[in-house]
Amino acid sequence: MSKMLCKSVFLLALLFGLVAAARPQFHHGQKISKLSGDALIQAACDGVSLGGDESECVSTLKSATPDQKADANALALFTLRFVENHAENITTAIKKISAVPDVGPFLQSALTDCMEQYNSLDDLIEDANDAVSSHSYPDAQKFIMAGFSSVELCDSQLKASNFEEKAENKTGEDVVMARDLTKYVLLHKKLLAATLNILTLD
């Protein structure tokens, strides 16, 4: 087996491992959370990092207005709109990294996949917004889960690419930018997971 084929098989295994390990366990239900304020925010962010740092999720939700924090429906809409408004930053960053000369093949593949996933994310978030606004929570959960899966795939592809670049001790501008991009994508994943928590936890 060639060295390149071995690497490809290893990265594929790593990618599926990352996807399996990074997925929070969501509860499915028909009712939105009855919590409000700090208790709602803490419950929303609980578990979104699988025991890791949830402070970014908490600080983002705390930036909502008092009225939004007081009502689970309003906080879910705030969180979805936050992701929607910042998704453009992701696609802009992808284009900037892709424009850097001599982008590695693994990173370029990850960027292409991420662009495809984020191009479909807008419609999913918009559909989720409409469903939450009309209190159609089971429908909202389906759209958010689809959006989460898109962001999760982008996140996993970037992490696999970062692992490969690190193994080869690459430190170019594109590598540094990709690592920063991974952080923003991870935040989106956390916030979509938090929105699902808001829609399903008692």
Residue range 99-104: average pLDDT? 88
Please compute the mean of the pLDDT values over residues 175-179 and round it to a whole number. Answer: 87
Put simply, whether the predicted model's pTM sits higher than 0.85 gets the answer no
- pLDDT score, position 195: 96
Looking from the CA of 106 toward its CB, the CA atoms found within 13 Å total 25
Secondary structure of residue 175 in the 3-state scheme = helix
Q: Is the pLDDT of residue 2 over 50?
A: no
- What pLDDT does 25 receive? 54
pLDDT at 168: 65
Average pLDDT over residues 159-168: 75
How much is the pLDDT for 33? 86
What mean pLDDT comes out for the span 170-184?
85
**pLDDT tens for each residue of 3-15:** 444 444 444 444 4
Burial of 52 (0-12, 13-18, 19+ CB in 10 A): exposed
Q: Are 15 and 156 in contact (CB under 8 A)?
A: yes
pLDDT at 180 over 50: yes
Q: Nearest 5°: phi and psi at 98?
A: -65, -25
pLDDT category of residue 32 using cuts at 50, 70 and 90: confident
Task: Give me the pLDDT at residue 16, please.
Answer: 45
SS3 label, residue 107: helix
* pLDDT (0 to 100) of residue 169: 66
Domains along the chain with CATH numbers: 3-200 (1.20.140.40)
Q: What does DSSP assign to residue 51?
A: T
Q: Is the pLDDT of residue 173 over 90?
A: no
- Percent above pLDDT 70 for the chain: 79
State yes or no: pLDDT of 63 exceeds 80.
yes
pLDDT digits (tens, 9 = 90+) for 152-162: 999 999 988 87
- The pLDDT confidence band at residue 175, using thresholds 50, 70 and 90, is confident
